Structure formats: C-alpha cells, structure tokens
Structure 1
Amino acid sequence: MGWLTKDQAVAEARRLKKHLERHGVKVSIELQRGAGDSGYWGHDWHRAEMSHHVVSRRSQGTTPLLFLVKKGRPDVPGPLCNGYMGFDGVYRIITMGLANHPGPGGPITVDGITIPRDDGRYYTWGTEFEGGLDDADWPPGFRAKMGAANAGIIDWLSERHGGRVTDDAHMEHSTWARPKGRKSDRRGYSRADGIAEIKAARRGTTPTVQEDDVTTKAQMDEINRWIENIHADIKETLPGLVADAVANYTTKSEKFSLFSLARFGYHAAAATNAALPGIAARVGAPVNTDTLAAALAEELAEKLEGSISSEVVKDAVRSVFADAANPQEA
C-alpha cells in the first residue's frame, strides 16, 4: 500500500485503537500529518515499536509536554512521536505517518527484520510517555498501562503483517540510537524490561523494573528551553484566536459595523495578552474553561464599553478554550 491518504490513516488509527482498548487502554485519536516534506497522513511500513520518555514530572500536570510532541522543537519539527501517553493514562494516536522520534541509529535486526541505518522513522512506531524524572511518577499502575499500550501496538503491527510480529519487536531508544549512549532508555528500563512488561500485560501482572536515574542536567535545560518556546508561541497565537472567536460570534448573533468588529478584535487581543501570564502558567494542566472564559469575559466586556454583553463574550471565549482542551477524533 505504501503511503496512506487521510481516510486510510483514520481507518488504520481506528484499528489500532481497538487493539489498545482490548488491553484496557483509553485512547484518543488526534491525527495530524506526518513529519517531513511528504506531509502524508500515514504509511504501512511500521514493523517495530520504540518507547521514549519526555523527561517531565507529574506535578507539571497530566499532559505537560503534549503540545511539544505535536508541534516539535525549534530544531526538530513535529510530530515527535506516533503515539503519546500522559499521566492521565490516555494513549493519544498522533500520526500514522513519519514522526521525528528515533534520530540517527541502526542498522539493527529486531524480531527477524533488519531496519536500515537512520531509517527508524519508516519502520518503528514511536511512543512518548510522560515522566522519567521521578520514580514516584511511575507507580505500578502506570507502568502496567505502558506495558498494555505496547502490547496493543504489537498486536496491531502483527495484524498488519500477517501475524509475523512478536513481542521481540519492542525497542527502547538506546536499542536503536547510534553512537551508543547518544540516547537513554525510559527511566529504569532496558529493552528486556520493556519486553517483560509487555508479556506481563498479556498475563495481567505487573513486572518489577530496576530503577535507574538516566536524566542529565543538559536534558533538563533543553526541556526548559522547549517549554519557553511553547509559551512564546502561545502568546503569539492565542490573542488572535480569541479575537477571531469574538468577531465570528458577534457576526452570527448581531449586526455590527466593520469598524466595531475591528475594535472588538483589537480589544479582545489586548485583554487576552494581559491575561496570558496566568494562562501560560497553566499550560499542560487541566484548565477550567468556564472559569477562564468568565475571567476574560469580564475584562473584555469592560473594554468593549458595553457594546456587547459579557455573556456573548464568555461564550465566544469558552468556545476557543474548549476546542483547544478537547480535540476531536479525526
């Protein structure tokens, strides 16, 4: 089959979703195009799966670096993985196509298949798991969910390839990465640990995993820089979204002159900018969109000098944040 159209990618994502759900994993399909110049929605060359951790803490929220793995970094465009699991235990299917997750590595033979040098994106399904800084962030229940997710992925791969994929198709990042030592495995995991966890998921048990601190200060500094870039991007794009929402809502509900609509948009953007420090501080944490919308609506209504009710503004603002917080299945 080769490259997949959007419809084919959605159908394949739904098949993967069923396999994950058979192992008790909650799933959200949030598809985007694959990385690279091709921009295809998917392909059918995945033959193994690889686990990563994003180097985060549970105290940062349930999905602190979801935005990062979707959008990418300044030096590496997203998506940075095919699938992602947050501290909420939900597995998000992000792309069925190329993901910039493995980096240089190989060649390597796993499960009877040789993956060519530096071609990991084509042959490995990459999952980013939140965590990796604190042992307490991965209690036995979360470790079991990681194993269940990988078991579901391998079942899906096996179905795609005529039953020829086994649990030996699992890799940790250092299994692939070259030169050796360029990348670490998930905190406390080796490839053997990952495979044992998959087999335990099939038995309904939780394996014991050796603990080992693999995070460096350089990695944390890099993560912090990424987060700063994410916040900068939010500050640049969010005011425009709110302004558009206010303008679109008012044009549907009442008649206003173009001058008035332009004024609404300007003041909406200005008010949102004023509120952004509080918004940015909550990136990655659960957001109470009603509270956030009400706070913005009060300021917007005041700046709009009574020409539009706070309830209308609140509905418009709420719609923006609700869409951002609750992505729809493709």
Structure 2
Amino acid sequence: MATPLTASALLAALRAEGVKCVEYGSWRTHNRAGHGAWDPINGVMIHHTVSSGTDASVRLCYDGYADLPGPLCHGVIAKDGTVYLISAGRANHAGGGDGQVLNAVISERSLPSTNAHEGSAGAVDGNARFYGFECINLGNGADPWPDAQLDAIERVSAAICRAYGWSAESVIGHKEWSDWKSDPRGFSMTTMRSRIVRRLATKPGKTPPPKFEPFPGVDFFKRYPRDPIVTAMGTRLVAEGCSAYKSGPSPQFTAADITSYAKWQRKQGYTGKDADGWPGRKSWDALKVPKTT
C-alpha cells in the first residue's frame, strides 16, 4: 500500500524512465476529489479508448461525457508513444472490480480470474486503488499497436512500479479487473508484464536489449497450439498491419492466424506457396516476436 505521488513526482518518474510527456490542461488539479477515495494506491491499470485520433481521444478522456465525468484516466498514451497527462488524482477509469484480484496485486502474485464488475456484490472501487492509462486504440483487435505505443506502456508502468518499489505483477489490464471488460485488446498483458520485468532490471530510462522468440518450427504451428507465443505473434502481425482477426489475437492458433501470417509473408515479398500462412524461419525472424517469458 502507498500514498499517491504528487503531480511533480509522477511527472519526474515518467520523464526519468524516458517517457515523452505532455502536460494537458490543468492536469495537476483536475480530478474527482470528493467522489470517493484516492488512497491507498496499489497498482497500474491499462485500458484502450475505443476511439481514434489523438486530439479527440485526449479531450474525451479529459472531459468525460454525461454519464461518466472526466478525467477518465491519469494519462492517455498516443500511437506515437506520447503520454498526455490529464490527472494526478482520483479518476473515473477502473470502476468496480474483483477483490481477489486486488489482493493478488497487493501480494504481487499471479492473478486469479475476475468474477466481479461495477455494481456486483463485493466489488471493490478500483478508482481509489489504481493509476489508469488509456491507450488510443479502437479495441477491435485489428487496430495496430505500434512499437512506440507499446514501449510507452512499458515505460509508464515501469516508472510507477519503480517509484513505489513494486514488481511487474502490480500492472494489470482492465479486463483482468472487471469481468465485463475486454480492454486492452490486441496485445497480451502477460507479455507486457514480461517486458516490464526486463525494464525494471535496468537503470531508469535505459532500454533493455530486445529479446525475441526463436522460431518454434513449422510442426509447432501445425498442431494448432494454444500458447502465449501465438498471442505475441498475433500482436506483432496487428502492429505490422497484417491482421485478419475479428476480435484480436489469442493464445489459440486458428485460421485467422494463418490468414494474418500470409499477409505478413506477402508484405515480405513472398508469393504463391511461399505465402501460405505457415510461419517459416526467415519470415519469423523478420517479424521479431518478443519473448513471452
């Protein structure tokens, strides 16, 4: 448990981690004070906006809307990796969630499945406990997650974890908090936590050397596996604009993965049977699938 960082301390922590920050509006005093607690703080929550366009998305998160007044998060992470700070206090981003998930975050252990949401019996007020970052993305599983945006999510999360002495297990997705949420869709929070682990092992602001998954072999995919590597592959395919997914990558290898990978092969210049959607070593190495563990 911890007390909130001051606005200045939050900004300093993010910049020390190499985050490009924009101080938006009166973000230092823009909050939901008087509408619930903002303490103790236990973790970081990642969301997607279900919107497009930086200016419109940042304004929406700053102002909110009739049924949900702003601010809707503490920072908005744009496609180019810029983080727009819109609040340093309580924000309407998490809503009700599972107390068992909160206990796991506090204990920094693996998350259980969530079985609660806003208004359900025993739901816990996440707005009091988590920093929230909205990432500009349509949330349809096909909208790309550029490397710069994923890098910013990693850096923002590591910066706050470093400030409090937390591990990467203190960073969760909204869908891991509330059982009626799906965000963030399009990348794996398990893989993101692995990235945060590697960053926390380096000095602030330093970029750890990238680690990529070695080619697991064609036979691995021919078995239609269910594995985090498949999600990591799909996330990279989405980022490269090669998505054929209807609801985003998942651990289960399916026909959508084959179709998406064929798009990647054609982007690499392969044609005919060489662009059949079954991963090969050269195209896999070019895709640069990040390590999942």
3-state secondary structure, aligned to 1:127: strand
Residue 128 (str. 1) matches residue 123 (str. 2): no
Q: 1:71 to 1:196 in 2, by over 3 A?
A: same
Q: Which has the higher helix share?
A: 1
Q: 1:190 to 1:122 in 2, by over 3 A?
A: same
How far the C-alpha of 1:194 sits from its partner, in A, is 2.5
Matches within 5 A, 1:111-126: 111-113=105-107, 117-126=123-132
Larger Rg: 1
Residue 48 (str. 1) matches residue 54 (str. 2): no
Cα distance in structure 2, aligned partners of 1:187 and 1:207: 21
Structure 1 residue runs of 5 or longer lacking an equivalent are 216-330
Q: 1:139 to 1:67 in 2, by over 3 A?
A: same
- The CA deviation string for residues 112-166 of structure 1, in whole angstroms up to 9 with x for no partner, is 359x83311111111001113465632223212221121112222x1xxxx3x21
Residue 26 (str. 1) matches residue 20 (str. 2): yes
Residue 90 (str. 1) matches residue 96 (str. 2): no
- The CA deviation string for residues 237-265 of structure 1, in whole angstroms up to 9 with x for no partner, is xxxxxxxxxxxxxxxxxxxxxxxxxxxxx
Cα distance in structure 2, aligned partners of 1:72 and 1:50: 18
Q: Is the 8 A contact 2:157 2:196 kept in 1?
A: yes
Match of 1:138 among 124, 145, 151: 145
1:176 alignment partner in structure 2: 177
Cα distance in structure 1, aligned partners of 2:9 and 2:57: 26
Q: 1:64 to 1:204 in 2, by over 3 A?
A: farther
Cα distance in structure 2, aligned partners of 1:3 and 1:22: 20
2:158 alignment partner in structure 1: 151
- The CA deviation string for residues 270-323 of structure 1, in whole angstroms up to 9 with x for no partner, is xxxxxxxxxxxxxxxxxxxxxxxxxxxxxxxxxxxxxxxxxxxxxxxxxxxxxx
How far the C-alpha of 1:204 sits from its partner, in A, is 4.4
% identical equivalent positions = 26
Cα distance in structure 1, aligned partners of 2:90 and 2:246: 30
Q: 1:127 to 1:16 in 2, by over 3 A?
A: same
3-state secondary structure, aligned to 1:52: strand
Residue 15 (str. 1) matches residue 9 (str. 2): yes
Q: Is the 8 A contact 1:175 1:191 kept in 2?
A: no
Q: Is the 8 A contact 1:82 1:127 kept in 2?
A: yes
Q: Which amino acid aligns with 2:32?
A: A
Q: 1:87 to 1:189 in 2, by over 3 A?
A: closer
How far the C-alpha of 1:214 sits from its partner, in A, is 4.1
Matches within 5 A, 1:185-200: 185-200=183-198
Q: Aligned residues, how many?
A: 194
Cα distance in structure 2, aligned partners of 1:100 and 1:14: 21
Q: Is the 8 A contact 2:38 2:127 kept in 1?
A: no
3-state secondary structure, aligned to 1:33: coil
2:274 alignment partner in structure 1: none
- The CA deviation string for residues 19-63 of structure 1, in whole angstroms up to 9 with x for no partner, is 212221111233143226x179x9452210000010234xx3x33
Q: 1:123 to 1:100 in 2, by over 3 A?
A: same
Q: Is the 8 A contact 2:83 2:152 kept in 1?
A: no
Q: 1:166 to 1:3 in 2, by over 3 A?
A: closer
Q: Is the 8 A contact 1:51 1:127 kept in 2?
A: yes
Q: Is the 8 A contact 2:17 2:156 kept in 1?
A: yes
How far the C-alpha of 1:67 sits from its partner, in A, is 0.8
